[in-house]
Amino acid sequence: MKRIFAISVFLTALCLSGAAQSKSFTLGQWVEIHNAILRELNRSYVDSLPVGRIEREAVDAMLESLDPYTVYVPEEEQDDFRMMIGNTYGGIGAIINKPSADSNVIISEPYAGSPAVRSGLGPGDEILLIDGKTVKGLTTSDASDRMKGKPGTAVAFKVRKLRGGPSWAPGDTIDIKVIRERIHLPDIEYSGMLDDTTGYILQTKFTEGVASAVKEKFLELKAKGMKKFVLDLRGNGGGLLAEAVDEVSLFVPKGSVVVTSKGNSAVGEQVLRTRNEPVDLNIPIVILVNSSSASASEIVSGALQDLDRATIMGNRTFGKGLVQSIRPLPYAGQLKVTTAKYYTPSGRCVQAIDYSSRAEDGSVGHIPDSLTHEFRTAGGRIVRDGGGITPDYEIPSKDYGRLTYSVVMNLITDRYALEYYRKHESIPAVEEFHLSDADYEDFVEFASDKDFDYRSSAKAFFDEMKKALEKDGLADGMSSELAALEKSLNVDKKTFLRMKKDEIIPFLEEDIVVRYYYQEAGIKLRLRYDDQLREALAKPCLKF
């Protein structure tokens, strides 16, 4: 028996050794082929060989074939990469836009307390020159890059002011110098009491230190009388795994399993448990999620669902159950590489079954139950894998019409807000601010001469159908029917804007209040119209 066991171990080792050798041989073979092709191209290609461009394209295509999250980051893109993973950059602290390549840069929203604000830049200010150079011909991204830089350095602007100030009138052109600082966009965009007993935190990222910030805000809310806690992770695309683990630690016993990662390395399986003492084990928790809640958001919501500690409400999450690690590369480059899949405490992998089964917004498409598996929470409730976290209560998000999307995405509401800001020195506090019927009619007049696609979904669909009929040679035979239908679908711009008033008003009011009271005021205004949140608050938390 011992002899048979020894032979078995030997054969297993031999197979593993052979597999490793085969893998190394294949890698070496392709490296040799790649180098040979490159050398031959360099020697024989008819034109000058753009080595840098074709190599970058080759690397990007190779990594893209693996998964959407494994990427190469060269040295010159490190600032953008730090912004992506740390929500931090060196700059002046303002959102800008550029209506066209030939236009100047518009300060859309400076951040509260930012270097931009302290230096005198305000909403609607028009930047003509950056460090003495025109902004004409630049893209918004190009202009943003010129404004960013090492903290402590200065950037000079020539600015046409929207509103008057201590020593200038509206429309005056003045010089402003701003000292750049390290700008950190907060992961917690808002926290406050929704009513006498319900606390609320809107968390949009998982960068370094956010778990401690959530703890601090949570305790502040408890001190104000919070008896029910809402953690809003809608639109939160994730971030650092360690922060997600520490955030779960706030609400479950120390030592609880949060996530298990399984990769293809010698490290093998890693089980991550809560490391800190909790701050609260009993308060009812509601976690709001949607199709843009991903990665670390899914770790938190999935773990607290599996541990029967929170009630998940909203829409099914994105379905990104992959762990990325940062690996250094030559010439100060970095490789963000997928190294593992993660599993919630019940054993679910929330990664979508494949990368192609995605909805239009990139989130998990429909997965039939026959392709998924059942798992059990700590209390025995059934949950399923297959992609994303399915809420305990499915609550549909608001579905806006095509016109509303168009006026927002084409910055029509944004541009009107700046016009409103120019005309009105002040507005009431956020809680009392409402646009009047006369104000909305003023917006209709403002928007009516702006260029944007104001067709209804039905008219857009009709236009595509008509093109298909013409292509197939069928349109002539039904021209009268098509003409009648088209006439009924045509709605003039002003009429359609008035019809969609209830949808557009919330966006207008939000765009206006941030010009006076900055970003947090916009979130307060948004909560006023948040039907999904209102419905979630009306539902009972699950009893665990």
Helix (H, G, I), strand (E, B) or coil at 394: strand
**How far is Cα 240 from Cα 236, in angstroms, rounded to an integer?**
12
- 123 alpha-carbon distance from chain centroid: 24
Q: Which residues pair with 89 in a beta bridge?
A: 183
Neighbours of 269 (CB within 10 A): 10
Residue 265 identity (one-letter amino acid): S
Which amino acid appears at position 99 of this protein?
P
Distance of CA 54 to the CA centre of its chain: 30
Q: Kindly state the tokens that stand for 33.
A: 């082929």
User: Could you tell me which residues are beta bridge partners of residue 156?
Assistant: 177
Distances (CA, A) of 213 to 122, 189, 193, 246, 325: 29, 11, 17, 11, 24
List the catalytic residues.
Answer: 295, 306, 320
* CB distance 309 to 252 below 8 Å: yes
Radius of gyration of the CA atoms of the chain, in A: 28
Nearest to 109 by CA among 162, 154, 65: 162
DSSP characters over 248-284: HHTTS-TT-EEEEEEESSTT-EEEEE--S--S-SSS-
The span from the CA of 525 to the CA of 106, in Å, is 23
Q: How far apart are CA 245 and CA 271, in angstroms?
A: 11
CB 102 within 8 A of CB 137: yes
Choose among 315, 201, 179, 186: nearest CA to 247.
Answer: 201
Which residues does residue 154 pair with via DSSP β-bridges, in sequence order? 179
53 membership: H or E segment, kind and range? helix 51-64
* 3-state helix/strand/coil string of 453-497: CCCCHHHHHHHHHHHHHHHCCCCHHHHHHHHHHHHHHCCCHHHHH
First to last CA, the chain: 52
To the nearest 10°, report the CA torsion of 104, 108, 109, 115: 10
- Which contacts (CB < 8 Å, 24+ apart) does range 369-372 have? none
Which element (helix H / strand E) includes 374?
strand 374-376
Cα 227 to Cα 191, 198, 279, 282: the distances in Å are: 15, 6, 14, 10
Q: Strand 393-394 to strand 382-384: parallel, antiparallel, or no bridges (unpaired)?
A: unpaired
CB 93 within 8 A of CB 147: no
- The Cα–Cα gap between 222 and 398 comes to 30
What's the residue count for the chain?
A: 544
